[in-house]
Amino acid sequence: MPVSPRRSVVLGAVALALALGACGGGDDGGDAAGEGANTVTVRGCNPQGDFVPANSNEVCSGDILDQVFSFLVRYDPETGQPENEIAADIVSEDSQTWTITLQDGWTFHDGSPVTAQSFVDAWNWAALGANATLNSYFFEPIQGYADVQGTFDDEGNYVDGSAAAETMSGLEVVDDLTFRVTLAQAESQFPMRLGYTAFAPLPQSFYDDPEAFGQHPVGTGPFRFESWDPNIDVRLSAYADYAGDVKPSIDGAVYRIYENDDAAYNDLQADQLDIMPLLPTSALAGDTYRIDLGDRFVSRETGVFETITFAPESVDASFTDPRLRQAISMSINRPEIVDKIFAGARTPANGWVSPVVPDFEDGACDPYCTYDQQGAQDLYAEVEPFEGTLALSYNADSDHKAWVDAVCNDITATLQIPCQGSPVVDLATFRNEITARQTGGIFRTGWQMDYPSLENFLVPIFATGASANDGDYSNPEFDDLVRQAAATPGADGAALYRQAEQLLAADMPVIPLWHRVNIAGYSTHVENVRITVFQTVDLLSVTTTG
Amino acid sequence: MGRYVARRLLQMIPVVIGTTFIIYALVWALPGDPFAGRCGARPCPAAYVADMTAKYNLDDPLPLAYIQYLGNLLRGDFGETFQGLSVGEELLRAYPTTVKLALVAIAFEIIIGIGAGILAGLRRGSFIDNLVLVSTLVVVSIPVFVIGSVLQLFLGMRWGIFPATVGGDASLYNLILPGFVLASLSLAYVARLTRTSLAENRRADYVRTAVAKGLPQRRVIGIHTMRNSLIPVVTFIGADFGALLGGAIVTEGIFNVPGVGNLIFRSITTRDGVMVTGAVTVLVLVFLLVNLLVDLIYGWLDPRISHG
């Protein structure tokens, strides 16, 4: 039958559609999750930057880098206590000069050995102003940090040669396996930090081409970085020569990238995804996940702490009396909000330090973080009544509205202060306004710990002029105590930090709300799933069932 | 014909420049510094902010920054994302998946949509006709994310016939479910369009003439009626294909399809302005070209329309 040209258009389109659609049709092999039998799939997300440890400050890239790298210390996944990993010994006489010796036998995935130079060079690179890394402030305590910063011209371009030095004077290689770190001032909890991503050692190959390294990092950890297919997945395989005590029992892991939480959760239920480190809100509501997953979930407190900060006095002078701040704190019914809104994914806070910190002690906020309507009203009766409407600002691009409204209702019900949630379009705008000291009233703040230490929950937030001190809190007594604590090693130092924390109850610059609890789910294909205090999966303990 | 195409191509230049400028201006005019939220509760190191500002020309006045961007674009350089990846490569990676998904959806529209429309159009007022009318009405009135989630729950998770999500393995089989969901709305329109057009043409004079000449029923419907009835349908499907190539944010999100829609959605949420501008520029170009193509096909199918 002759085919007319017009009909051939339609037929051709159909044929083309089917032919093009057919190409790329692969077969589905392997287990239920579509991978090799001893490989696990983990929900991943798109990293916001490249995979250079000095540039990673969010969970998407940090999660993967922590599997690819080993550090001087490793935090116990259960207790958060740091234990030596690559380090054989970290000692100091005066908490200011630290001598770090490494264990012999550690290698990078490219076969080159890990030496003292690997650490010193990596830290110097990260601190150098010209490299403009995101994590450079972690090296600020090291002597000579200011000298390597250099200056920038009006255009924002780095002025070549403007740094007084190329390397920090506080870092000194003693021999192949020993180096010395001199801090600008004593810091007894310094070893606590050394397991953070920014302190990773780097191989020589990094310096030849940092950009290529950022797409394909070479580390020292239990897993070797195989490939990164943006928007699709990151593949890791077990490193046979890993020198750590605990070797992974799985052959590898695939971090499958999902843009949408619910899509990942649906895959988890269908057994097509093995581990989801953080279940979505929709699954937590009404304990749905318990019905969907049975007992295939783990919950774990993590170092994410959520708070409300009072605007600095220079911006909003309504809150100068600490009794008003305490009254507001006492009028919030934390347990009820945690139960009704977060379905158990938070625990009420009663202090300013997360319970995952090894030296944590409960109750620093007593009695001001306990819901007590009468107590709140009594305190409020002693002060000048608040005038106008209390605005509680938050960024509207995350799930904050529900709890903000609940907190406002509690404040209004207890103190008769009209309170109104005040949404700001997104996190960038919200943080920008806070940093520029434009936000009045009270606003949502949060702190995700860098490392589990008392110091990390107190100094960066409450020391005078500290980087995250959004309320411009300044108390000479507090500054003095944390300075003493920094110079005092061991339990005495921890006691001093806790004493400083006690001062916050009297001043109440920031209202503690709750600590985040991570609820992770897993498929029938895996067992022994543990979540670290950093909300990541402990791939060393995971085993497969098949 | 050639002059018509040339004129249309020339017309595209101001459209592309205009749209990219608007997108570029909007993306970078969002309030707040795009790097402000990058470091959690503390401000980012000054060196980092200065470096990024210089890299993306954020300190230049907007028209100047745009001209620099456009200059790079003309050399084929779409710029780099915040992750240090080339925007051009990212788009090349995402596009094949979106094209495949769009083709699967179009196949559904052609097979089911036209099929149902013909059945309904040939037997007006019959049970089949009413069934098609009611079911398309239902499909049109249900939002796509409901259809997507329901089909995913039953076909993907409960019965395990299709994978619940697509992910990296965008094979034809894996794309059937999202393709069907994506096609559902247009499918309903195609069915109704075919039905109406066919039913109208069956009463046309030339069909009556054909029947009077004693031509067999098959030939009257298959050749004479169908050919003319399908003209509006082909135009609709062509324009729809152009729209589908723009990515489907909702459907790609539900089924985790790593296509253009997902890419744009992520770039908007992370405020990756370079990626958003690059992707939208390509979308505009694709849309314009597909539209030109559809117009040309239209003239070819219906000789009364002349592009001379």
**Stretch B39-46: mean pLDDT:** 76
Q: Which of A208, A225, A254 is the last residue of a domain?
A: A208
- The CATH number for A87's domain is 3.90.76.10
Rounded Cα–Cα distance for residues A520 and A537 (Å): 9
Report cis status (omega within 30 of 0) of the bond before A367: yes
What does pLDDT average to over chain B? 85
- The reply to whether A15 touches chain B by the CB within 8 Å rule is no
The reply to whether A148 and A204 lie within a common domain is: yes
Candidate from A397-401, A469-473, A516-520 with smallest mean pLDDT: A397-401
Using the predicted structure, report yes or no on whether residue A287 has a pLDDT greater than 60: yes
Q: Which of A169, A191, A208 is the last residue of a domain?
A: A208
Q: Are A132 and A158 in contact (CB under 8 A)?
A: yes
Helix, strand, or coil (residue A54)? helix
- Structure-model confidence comparison of residues A426 and A206, the more confident one: A206
**Beta-sheet pairing, A390-395 with A442-448:** parallel
Helix, strand, or coil (residue A307)? strand
**What residues of chain A lie within 8 A of the CB of B182, using their CB?**
none
Q: Which band of pLDDT confidence, cut at 50, 70 and 90, is reported for residue A143? A: very high
Q: What is the pLDDT of residue B1?
A: 72
For chain A, the domain total comes to 3
**pLDDT above 90 covers what percent of chain B?**
22
- The reply to whether B162 touches chain A by the CB within 8 Å rule is no
**Stretch A515-523: mean pLDDT:** 93
Using the predicted structure, report yes or no on whether residue B129 has a pLDDT greater than 80: yes
Using the predicted structure, report yes or no on whether residue A28 has a pLDDT greater than 60: no
| Residues 163-182 in B contacting A (C-alpha not used; CB under 8 Å) | 163-165, 167-173, 175
Q: What is the pLDDT of residue B36?
A: 67
What CA–CA distances, in Å, run from A345 to A66, A238, B213, B307? 24, 32, 78, 64
Using the predicted structure, report yes or no on whether residue B174 has a pLDDT greater than 60: yes
Domain with CATH 1.10.3720.10 in chain B: 88-301
Domain-embedded: residue A11: no
Is the CB of A25 less than 8 angstroms away from the CB of B173?
yes
Q: Which band of pLDDT confidence, cut at 50, 70 and 90, is reported for residue B271? A: confident
Q: A103: how many CB neighbours lie within 10 A of its CB?
A: 16
Using the predicted structure, report yes or no on whether residue A156 has a pLDDT greater than 70: no
Mutate one of A155, A259, A282, A437 to test the B interface: name it (highest B CB count within 10 A).
A259
What does pLDDT average to over chain A? 88
Q: Which two tokens stand for residue A523?
A: 């498929």
Q: What is the pLDDT of residue A64?
A: 92
Is the CB of B82 less than 8 angstroms away from the CB of A48?
yes
Q: Which band of pLDDT confidence, cut at 50, 70 and 90, is reported for residue B31? A: low
**What residues of chain A lie within 8 A of the CB of B110, using their CB?**
10, 13-14, 17
The reply to whether A172 and A201 lie within a common domain is: yes
Q: Which band of pLDDT confidence, cut at 50, 70 and 90, is reported for residue A12? A: very low
Domain with A230 in it: 32-69+212-301+518-544
Nearest 5°: the CA angle A254, A257, A262 is 120
Q: Which of B160, B230, B271 sits opposite A270 (nearest CB)?
A: B160
The reply to whether A522 and A417 lie within a common domain is: no
From B30, which residue of chain A is nearest by alpha-carbon distance? A429
Domain-embedded: residue A18: no
Using the predicted structure, report yes or no on whether residue A9 has a pLDDT greater than 60: no
Using the predicted structure, report yes or no on whether residue A25 has a pLDDT greater than 70: no
Q: What is the pLDDT of residue A22?
A: 41
Q: Which of B49, B84, B94 sits opposite A50 (nearest CB)?
A: B84
Domain-embedded: residue A184: yes
**Stretch A489-513: mean pLDDT:** 92
Q: Which two tokens stand for residue B56?
A: 């993306």
| Residues 192-251 in A contacting B (C-alpha not used; CB under 8 Å) | 211, 214-215, 229-233
Mutate one of B95, B159, B165 to test the A interface: name it (highest A CB count within 10 A).
B165
Q: Which of B30, B34, B51 sits opposite A158 (nearest CB)?
A: B51
Q: Are B235 and B221 in contact (CB under 8 A)?
A: no
The reply to whether A307 and A432 lie within a common domain is: yes
Is the CB of B32 less than 8 angstroms away from the CB of A429?
yes
Q: What is the pLDDT of residue B298?
A: 76
- The reply to whether B235 touches chain A by the CB within 8 Å rule is no
From B297, which residue of chain A is nearest by alpha-carbon distance? A9
Q: Which band of pLDDT confidence, cut at 50, 70 and 90, is reported for residue B227? A: confident
Using the predicted structure, report yes or no on whether residue B164 has a pLDDT greater than 50: yes
From A7, which residue of chain B is nearest by alpha-carbon distance? B227
Q: Which band of pLDDT confidence, cut at 50, 70 and 90, is reported for residue B68? A: confident
Rounded Cα–Cα distance for residues A147 and B188 (Å): 68
Q: Are A256 and A233 in contact (CB under 8 A)?
A: yes
**Stretch B209-236: mean pLDDT:** 86
- The reply to whether B44 touches chain A by the CB within 8 Å rule is yes
Distance from CA of A224 to the nearest CA of B (A): 20
**Stretch A69-88: mean pLDDT:** 90
- The CATH number for A64's domain is 3.40.190.10
Q: What is the pLDDT of residue A2?
A: 45
Domain-embedded: residue A313: yes
Q: Which two tokens stand for residue A289?
A: 């996940």
The reply to whether A524 and A449 lie within a common domain is: no
Q: What is the pLDDT of residue A67?
A: 93
Using the predicted structure, report yes or no on whether residue B72 has a pLDDT greater than 90: no
From B167, which residue of chain A is nearest by alpha-carbon distance? A232
One of 3.20.190.10, 2.60.34.10, 3.90.1660.10, 1.10.3720.10 is the CATH number of B88-301, namely 1.10.3720.10
The reply to whether A59 and A83 lie within a common domain is: no
**Stretch A287-301: mean pLDDT:** 91
Domain-embedded: residue A3: no
- Structure-model confidence comparison of residues A373 and B222, the more confident one: A373
- Structure-model confidence comparison of residues A426 and A454, the more confident one: A454
**What residues of chain A lie within 8 A of the CB of B103, using their CB?**
16-17, 20-21
Is the CB of A467 less than 8 angstroms away from the CB of B266?
no
Rounded Cα–Cα distance for residues A476 and B174 (Å): 63
Question: What stretches of A198-277 adopt beta strand conformation (E)?
Answer: 223-229, 233-238, 252-257, 275-276
The reply to whether A290 and A237 lie within a common domain is: yes
Is the CB of B41 less than 8 angstroms away from the CB of A470?
yes
- The reply to whether B266 touches chain A by the CB within 8 Å rule is yes
The reply to whether A383 and A468 lie within a common domain is: yes
A336: closest CA among A289, A370, A363? A370
Is the CB of B85 less than 8 angstroms away from the CB of A215?
yes
